[in-house]
Amino acid sequence: MTAATALDLAGATLREVNSTLQAADGGSFRVVNPQGAHALACGLDAPVSVHVDGPVGYYCAGMNQHATVHVDGNAGTGLAENVMSGTVTVTGNAGQSAGATGHGGLVVVHGNASARCGISMKGVDIVVGGDVGHMSAFMAQAGNLVVLGDAGADLGDSIYEARLFVRGSVASLGADCVEKEVRPEHLEFLAARLADAGLDADPADFRRYGSARRLYNFHPDDVDAEVAR
């Protein structure tokens, strides 16, 4: 196994570290002394592996494609914002809007995620080992949010077709978000995603939430008719 290339933010600028990561088309990197740096490991678009030794600030791993980013510590606002693919993992807690607008890939927070986790998600899978704050999955369009702990107020407000799975309690559901049946395919999905995230839980303990579809301007069953017009 090839040793990881060390990048030290105590001796290099954030721009230099990010430029090195963005220029790589593969390989493994270890970032030391991150000291809560903002926008670290953003815009990666190759299958590189980045291990960050310590906490990061705002927007870590934003716009990620293909890369695997692992943070040993906490992350600030906007973790993995607009993630397209790859995997972003945080061993601690995440600030507001983790995985916001994410189109794909997997975001894992082993601790808690603050308010608006998964806001406007468009296909990303987010797994949170602890709790999520209020307004999580607000206007979530597609993808999956899996919460092993509790969810704050107004979960899934104005949700579209994303699926929400919560093992603990939900303070309240947002507009048009309702509890739905957990079917065998959902249990299979949960088992696979929990394994991917490295988190241990029984899929049967989760409840599923999604859109009641009362806020749609057309009924989904009539989509062909709408297009024909």
Question: CA angle, corner 177, sides to 172 and 179, nearest 5?
Answer: 80
**What does the chain come to in residues?**
229
C-alpha 223 chain-centroid distance: 29
CB 96 within 8 A of CB 77: yes
Domain that holds residue 42: 5-214
Calpha distance 170→139 (Å, rounded)? 17
Residue 225 lies in a domain: no
Structure tokens at 35: 């000291």
CATH classification at residue 177: 2.160.20.60
Residue 208 lies in a domain: yes
Which alpha helices (H) appear in the chain, and where do they start and end? 14-23, 184-197, 223-228
Give pTM, 2 decimals.
Answer: 0.93
Residue 221 lies in a domain: no
> Torsion angle, CA of 131/134/139/141, rounded to 10 degrees?
0
Residue 170 lies in a domain: yes
Residue 33 lies in a domain: yes
Q: How many CB atoms lie within 10 A of CB 141?
A: 16
Residue 228 lies in a domain: no
**How many independent structural domains does the chain possess?**
1
Q: What are phi and psi of 177, to 5 degrees?
A: -100, 130
- Which amino acid belongs to residue 39? A
Residue 220 lies in a domain: no
Residue 219 lies in a domain: no
Per-position pLDDT tens, the chain of length 229? 568 999 999 999 999 999 999 999 999 999 999 999 999 999 999 999 999 999 999 999 999 999 999 999 999 999 999 999 999 999 999 999 999 999 999 999 999 999 999 999 999 999 999 999 999 999 999 999 999 999 999 999 999 999 999 999 999 999 999 999 999 999 999 999 999 999 999 999 999 999 999 886 655 566 565 444 3
Residue with tokens 């040993």: 72
Question: CA angle, corner 96, sides to 91 and 100, nearest 5?
Answer: 90
> What residues does 179 pair with on adjacent strands?
209
